[in-house]
Amino acid sequence: MQIQDLPYSDPGVPDARSGPRFLWWLGRNQLGGQLKSLAWGLLHFVSVSALPFCVGLAVQAVIERSGSRLALTGGLMLLCAAGIAVGDTFLHRTAVTNWITAAARVQQLLARKAAHLGSALTRRVAAGEVVAVSTGDVEKIGWFVEAVSRFTAAALTVVVVCVGLLVYQPALGVVVALGLPVVALAVLPLLPRATRRADEQREKAGRATELASDTVAGLRVLRGIGGEELFLDRYRRASQEVRHAAVRSARMWSLISAVQVLLPGLLLIAVVWHGTHLARQGRITVGELVTVYSAVMVLNYPLRHFEEIAMAYSFSRPSATRAARVLSLERSTATEGTLEERVPGGDLHDPSTGLLAPAGLLTAVVCGDPDAAGRLAERLGGHPAEPGRSVLLGGVALDDLPLDSARTAVLVQDKDPVLLSGTLRELLDVPASGAVRAADALAAAQCEDVLDALVQGSLDAADPMDARITERGRSLSGGQRQRLALARSLITDPEVLVLDEPTSAVDSHTEARIADGLRRLRSGRTTVVFTSSPLLLDRADRVALVHEGEVVAVGVHRELVDGEPRYRAVVTRETDDELAAAEEGALVGARQELEEIEESA
């Protein structure tokens, strides 16, 4: 897989049982790239390690005044230099390719999982953790996957050099062969503590990222209530915790680095001391001493990769664990794809609350708890709170449908819909039936002033459809964003459209026109609107009151206002005292009527 071939046509099915298993799965799926990197790494490291032997041969040739051997040694050194240059160039190329392709695979897997779960993702995993996994964690995972092949090449090179030294000069080769394993494995006792500190740093950084993303998302609201300083103080404290954890982690890694410098230095001293003693006894030549000394010096280079692979694994393991946790999430049932690929029709029924939205009608739902209304709206979109309680559409459980069919059948517009940056034409370019034109949807959502504002705010767009919308529509008012989102939902023309407070940020005159446009454009289609606005409720074919998780009253708006005190309390915003007084007045009036009847009798 090359970088120019990205993205993957199919990133595969990951092994998300644990972080290490996920890393192993990534490595296996890049076996070709790993083998290329291993081959170029061996060429590079072996060429580097062969230089000391060339230097030793050259020194011995000078001592023995052999011009032919010196020329031969020079040729070997040129060959080693060419191997170093070519190997290093292509090693870097393949290593970067492995890093980027591994990161791209993880990002595609995360994007696919987010699209599969929809709004259920952020209900089960914090938004900040999703951001951390898809940004910083992806890079750390790619780092480890890329470093494995370089570490393998370095380890094989160390083995080759040890064997070569044993054959070339056994007396000194034994010292090197015994000392190198100690040098390479001496840091192992320090790794568990370093890993724990790295995990702690990652955890605190994830919490800080989550706090920062939540603060930025709600910055406008925080400024409105004067709470930005409170959240800023929280982020300062979280940031300081991350800094302290990073310092503690850095101390361990600096200790590991110090050990990696100290022990090779001690090994080098031992080789020089023992080699000098042997040379004075005439048991080895000066060239052999220089060769072994240079080989030990050069081995510091591949040995550094032992420290790198330890760091890469320590930092990538918690990142891979977080990624695996996200990738292991599934929808509540596992029956997707068992039914025929079709979009069902019929009544929408929620067994948990008893809510029924008849096919082809505009049903309004009144719920005194906004959070409960939001959860019910998500459940109507096919995300049950618990298995076995799925919403039924035409008698078919939405969770039993293939994902594409379920999303084609039911569309849920959240209370706070997101507008992506781009032109208005791109915003409205969504999967749709084709039965609703963009102009009709914009007119029904009363977007005339929004179109004018977009044209006025654009430098070169004469057509409102070509005007650009800033990130999350921040240049528009809340009501304008809400109406554009409503127009986008109307264009899709789903079998069932669920709207959660679609007009909460618009004035009453605009709301009345939107209610008329919504009823006209969705005529003959099933529409469910969560609202407490009398203007919308009065135009609904059917109104359901949900109280404490159950439908307690069904009717039309005017009947419910007159006959259902709980409904009237939500719609007219009556206080508890006013409601109690109204009920008491109704009881008094009934008692008086009863007394009059008894007197007349």
CATH number, position 183: 1.20.1560.10
Is 205 domain-assigned? Answer: yes
Same-domain status, 387 and 315:
no
Same-domain status, 466 and 371:
yes
Same-domain status, 449 and 529:
yes
Number of C-beta neighbours around residue 226 at 10 A: 8
pLDDT tens figures, 191-219: 788 878 877 887 788 778 777 766 666 55
Same-domain status, 19 and 75:
yes
Q: Are 530 and 373 in contact (CB under 8 A)?
A: yes
Q: Are 27 and 46 in contact (CB under 8 A)?
A: no
Side-chain-side CA neighbours of 82 within 13 Å: the count stands at 6
Q: For residue 560, what pLDDT is reported?
A: 92
Q: For residue 378, what pLDDT is reported?
A: 84
Q: Are 390 and 384 in contact (CB under 8 A)?
A: yes
Is 437 domain-assigned? Answer: yes
Residue 351 CA to residue 589 CA, distance in Å, equals 39
Is 579 domain-assigned? Answer: no
Q: For residue 523, what pLDDT is reported?
A: 92
Is 126 domain-assigned? Answer: yes
Same-domain status, 217 and 361:
no
Is 570 domain-assigned? Answer: no
Q: Which residue range is the domain that position 305 belongs to? A: 12-327
Report the Cα 511 to chain-centroid distance in Å.
Answer: 37
Residue 359 CA to residue 257 CA, distance in Å, equals 69
Q: For residue 259, what pLDDT is reported?
A: 86
Query: Quick one: pLDDT band at residue 390, thresholds 50, 70, 90?
Result: confident
Does the structure show a pLDDT above 70 at 575? Answer: no
Same-domain status, 322 and 356:
no
Q: For residue 581, what pLDDT is reported?
A: 60
Does the structure show a pLDDT above 50 at 526? Answer: yes
Same-domain status, 323 and 356:
no
Q: How many domains does the chain have?
A: 2
pLDDT tens figures, 460-497: 777 888 888 877 677 788 889 999 999 999 999 999 99
Q: And the tokens for 481? A: 């964003």
Is 181 domain-assigned? Answer: yes
Same-domain status, 194 and 145:
yes
233, with CB counted inside 10 A (0-12, 13-18, 19+), is exposed
Is 166 domain-assigned? Answer: yes
Same-domain status, 175 and 278:
yes
Is 264 domain-assigned? Answer: yes
Same-domain status, 320 and 355:
no
The residue that leads in pLDDT, 187 or 536, is: 536
> Does the pTM exceed 0.75?
no
pLDDT tens figures, 240-272: 988 998 899 889 888 888 887 888 888 888 888
Same-domain status, 273 and 413:
no
H/E stretch holding 529 reads strand 526-530
Q: Are 253 and 246 in contact (CB under 8 A)?
A: no
pLDDT tens figures, 78-102: 999 999 999 999 999 999 999 999 9
Q: And the tokens for 593? A: 């009527």
Same-domain status, 126 and 230:
yes
CATH number, position 522: 3.40.50.300
Does the structure show a pLDDT above 80 at 3? Answer: no
Residue 550 CA to residue 343 CA, distance in Å, equals 28
Beta-bridge partner residues of 413: 499
Q: For residue 340, what pLDDT is reported?
A: 45
Q: Kindly state the average pLDDT of the residues 70-84.
A: 91
Residue with tokens 């008329």: 516
